[in-house]
Structure 1
């Protein structure tokens, strides 16, 4: 009976498949095409992490593909172009509109200059397109010039040079019809799309820098390019805020106000702070180390967090309930049996009898902010993108990607966490976190929203993995209270056994791939290495955020995985787009090559190859069904 049911299901599937491939000829053609794809070089994967709103640096690294574009220019032109000429070409690819405007202002935009640039761009695009099927390249070509670009990319010399003359006539027509600039824009965009087949963003697009909304806008405009995101704790914070979790909303305000990013709140997402600012100014004292606005936000935040902690004893965060430990008379707080002086005694809305209850005015402000965040169409479009393209973790091509950690105990076992009454650990816990995050966005149930806050800040959260001391850092001057213990994961994974255990947990053969994380900036300046546990773990948070540059000594890591192996790029600080355009100033990067294969990797060696082989198997079954008469063929 089971075999018969399986056969019936198979036939239902093959019947559906036959709608796309209605006869043997169509099946033959597709099998031949798929088998050919298996023998193409593996597409280049580009990994970035912890962008933290640094839009200009992100844009430049996206444009230059962490140096991949320059590498192809060097390969294509060798010594036939000078270093200056190569720099000019690369900058034209990165910023075509701005570079053409600069050439026009300098009266360099002659027909000869345009023809030279077109020929060079076509050379680079032709080399890159050779790694893909013609169908895939066509889909990547900007629509306006699709037919012409397709012809130019596949023009090769023949016996009488008819194709070459055809090519030259096309270029001449482009120049004559004043469409050259738009054509250059399209070619530059195509080159950047073909240079990198897949982009992985390993978390934390939001907070600190002010350009997170611009980064998200850019990703939305390029949604045709294959991109995935592993949610970081700062992303989850914004996801929770957009879903209406009050504690997440107030934390978003606090983070962005501390870094001076009013613009992202008011200009990008249309969230008004007027009522909150007015309340803070008339309620709290000015002239202290903490501004009235931050004082108001802090107190509301600790009240809201306290409510969540009291609703969820399973979060095991009662040590974070500190408002009820404050002595207003002498301005001290008791933590773990020790009484510490506070940097302010200004707590006018704190009721010692009900310390975690919002005042009526605080409650009205919170309700208004919830409406503002949940009602922002621009923010909703960005969070929708995070959900469509994001997840807690990803397994791809034997690499395991996640932002923070897999919570572990000191003995190397996976930590058990109470998840709505069921204890989960390892991959099972990560799957739960992914599911509860999606439920929060879909249903906005309080239970799921509370989990969004926990995923942001909980010390057993895979996105956080540390005991966060926001209260101590806000109100206690003694920095010994600020230490934030990290999950044992971060120390254990410096060695091979823990990394191997994690890889096995996620179905990866130890040593066949890598764990790729962000979250914890690599302090290169102190001798830390991003490559750990004999190459098992790669930590690619090198500090995109400008505030981290003095601590890390660099301005971020990116990782490139291509058919020729892996390269880790350590970037110097990006100066500005203007500097790049005016002086061809690229980001200078130090490259570390590792995991170099003994032969070039092909599509057949990847997860895509596995998927294609499965498709070929299905097609062979369909072919057999046609041959045996189990399914009728459509007329050719």
Structure 2
């Protein structure tokens, strides 16, 4: 095959000599022989920043296991736990004025030696070059020397490094540097299977943690799509984001986190619903999110005010899009305001709340003048929040509807299916799409909504931005995976049968191995190697549910990190851990600060042989680079390309 000399000449700029090309070939082939890095999979974080940051820093219990592996019976259980907490929170512990031992030189020396020992265990499968890149620049030389000290002749040299660190009063900084290096090395790549936002108090802190991580991707969840739509100015999404925030008392993320001005909403709610107890809109987690709590009576009024606006905005959006086939979810015009009833699917129900001062029975979806003014203010606030823009931009640069990586298919909700097990079709301007093509279409529309210039194509921009709302709760949305969303029924109707949101048939079929194989075939993954990693639906372990399905080919890892789910699930979610030897599930505990929170780790699949970098997707790219460099090397030797001095 003829060489592509133009490409090889470009490559020669980076590797100007045969020696340089040969050296890189040696380096890349050696890397491909190393064990693969450890991948971590999290799902449904829902704003629980403290729990998530703990799980990140502890590597979902792996750091604790490495401490036990390193020291065994040499350290007591209490000493191991104290060392683990120091690794997780070095700045907080050493910054505590009540921590007296930090000033003891002997304690610093012992602690540094212990941290170095753990570093050696964790770094054993990485190249020295990769480890050095992870080291803090100022201490890279000293850490590198301590990590690779294995010569008795250098014993005095090693001791002098330690003595110098402590003598010049840099012991605390060095302990922090080693602790953060351990955190950094334990997780090689991070996959977030959707729903960073809603319910919990500080999604913005989770986003900052993700942005600062070295290798992360996000598969969007329906709650994420709602926030993405809100950031793009979709009124229905904005109203729903605010409804959930006021319902769960999570005002922190709005005001302190993103600088969203909700005072206009509180003033409007007080003015219109000041005498209304709004009993149907009381907060779900009154005592959980208390950093910036709002008076519960006012919070309920705010929730009702924005819920009514949301129902109006959703009604307008549904009418704009007959192709959604959601006319049956237009319920405001089904209310009999005199009798206090509503008709849903042919049945009449009494309303729990009959006070609707802002709804015109003749035109129930029209916003009042004050509601229009309020929404203009809120839209401006959401679309002009700098931090929200930064975080949503990260969602687009590092996220997508799904990801296929190392034979694993990652997605948040489902691949919508019909009752007969075939992939469900969604009508688009291109015709009916299903399976992978449907996921790609949703991905494309989200990108259009964010990047399209509204001045050039206002109709296209509006259509794509409206689509975020369908991604959030549409019956054929892969992110939602339910027949309908019953927000209206939950708010206004007592009868629990109206609250049911039937799941897509996918959730029944996905328990079967043949369904997983069908999905593997759709996405081009070998069934004998593949796994599906799924979130969205909390695993109710208390009722005997298992996160492992389809004969070990599908993992549902949403066990509910969010406190809102704990009463239903009995646990606080899962981390799926995929290293070179096995797949493991870490079962989280209900996070309580200052207590023992180490997850329980269970190996669920042992690899037949240790997986090497060369077998991974990154490894395949490295081997392609090797092939290109071998061509360049031969071109140098044949004289087709001249070496540069």
How far residue 349 of structure 1 moved from its aligned partner, in angstroms, is 2.1
For structure 1, which runs of at least 5 residues remain unmatched after alignment?
580-584
Which of 2, 11, 19 is matched with 2:13 structurally? Answer: 19
Question: Alignment length, in residue pairs?
Answer: 617
Which residue is equivalent to 2:293?
none
How far residue 550 of structure 1 moved from its aligned partner, in angstroms, is 1.2
Alignment of 1:110 with 2:104, yes or no, is: yes
Alignment of 1:617 with 2:627, yes or no, is: yes
Which residue is equivalent to 2:510?
493
Alignment of 1:259-338 (within 5 A): 259-284=248-273, 285-290=275-280, 291-338=300-347
Aligned equivalents of 1:631, 1:321: Cα separation in 2: 70
Which of 388, 393, 410 is matched with 1:379 structurally? Answer: 388
Which residue is equivalent to 1:442?
451
Alignment of 1:452-491 (within 5 A): 452-466=468-482, 467-491=484-508
Q: 1:243 to 1:288 in 2, by over 3 A?
A: closer
Alignment of 1:374-453 (within 5 A): 374-443=383-452, 445-453=461-469
Alignment of 1:23-422 (within 5 A): 23-101=17-95, 105-107=99-101, 109-157=103-151, 161-220=152-211, 222-223=212-213, 225-284=214-273, 285-290=275-280, 291-422=300-431
- How high is the TM-score relative to the length of structure 1? 0.94
Aligned equivalents of 2:90, 2:634: Cα separation in 1: 52
Q: Answer whether contact 1:530 1:540 (CA < 8 A) is retained.
A: yes
Residues 203-234 of structure 1: CA distance to partner in whole angstroms, max 9, x if unpaired? 111111102111112222x23x2111111111
Q: Answer whether contact 2:193 2:412 (CA < 8 A) is retained.
A: yes
How far residue 566 of structure 1 moved from its aligned partner, in angstroms, is 0.7
Name the SS of the counterpart of 1:366 in structure 2. helix
How far residue 243 of structure 1 moved from its aligned partner, in angstroms, is 1.1
How far residue 431 of structure 1 moved from its aligned partner, in angstroms, is 1.0
Which of 572, 593, 597 is matched with 2:607 structurally? Answer: 597
Name the SS of the counterpart of 1:228 in structure 2. strand
Residues 1-59 of structure 1: CA distance to partner in whole angstroms, max 9, x if unpaired? xx9xxx68x33222211111111101110111111111111111111111111111111
Name the SS of the counterpart of 1:150 in structure 2. helix
Q: Answer whether contact 1:129 1:153 (CA < 8 A) is retained.
A: no
Residues 229-277 of structure 1: CA distance to partner in whole angstroms, max 9, x if unpaired? 1111111111111111111101000001000011211111111122222
Aligned equivalents of 1:484, 1:138: Cα separation in 2: 51
Aligned equivalents of 1:365, 1:134: Cα separation in 2: 57
Would you identify which runs of 4 or more consecutive aligned residues in structure 1 move more than 6 Å? Answer: none
Which residue is equivalent to 1:582?
none
Q: Answer whether contact 1:45 1:200 (CA < 8 A) is retained.
A: yes
Aligned equivalents of 1:632, 1:306: Cα separation in 2: 69
Residues 63-93 of structure 1: CA distance to partner in whole angstroms, max 9, x if unpaired? 1101111121122222222222222221111
Residues 286-333 of structure 1: CA distance to partner in whole angstroms, max 9, x if unpaired? 124134322221221111111111111111111111111111111111
For structure 2, which runs of at least 5 residues remain unmatched after alignment?
281-299, 455-460
Name the SS of the counterpart of 1:66 in structure 2. helix
Name the SS of the counterpart of 1:595 in structure 2. strand
Aligned equivalents of 2:190, 2:514: Cα separation in 1: 29
Name the SS of the counterpart of 1:46 in structure 2. strand
Aligned equivalents of 1:102, 1:363: Cα separation in 2: 50
Aligned equivalents of 2:619, 2:493: Cα separation in 1: 56
State the Cα RMSD in Å.
Answer: 1.6
Residues 406-426 of structure 1: CA distance to partner in whole angstroms, max 9, x if unpaired? 111111111111233432111
Aligned equivalents of 2:343, 2:279: Cα separation in 1: 21
Alignment of 1:549 with 2:559, yes or no, is: no
Deviates more, 1:372-381 or 1:295-304: 295-304
Which residue is equivalent to 2:457?
none
Aligned equivalents of 1:616, 1:503: Cα separation in 2: 29
Residues 433-460 of structure 1: CA distance to partner in whole angstroms, max 9, x if unpaired? 1111111111261111100111011111
Aligned equivalents of 1:392, 1:362: Cα separation in 2: 34
Q: 1:600 to 1:145 in 2, by over 3 A?
A: same
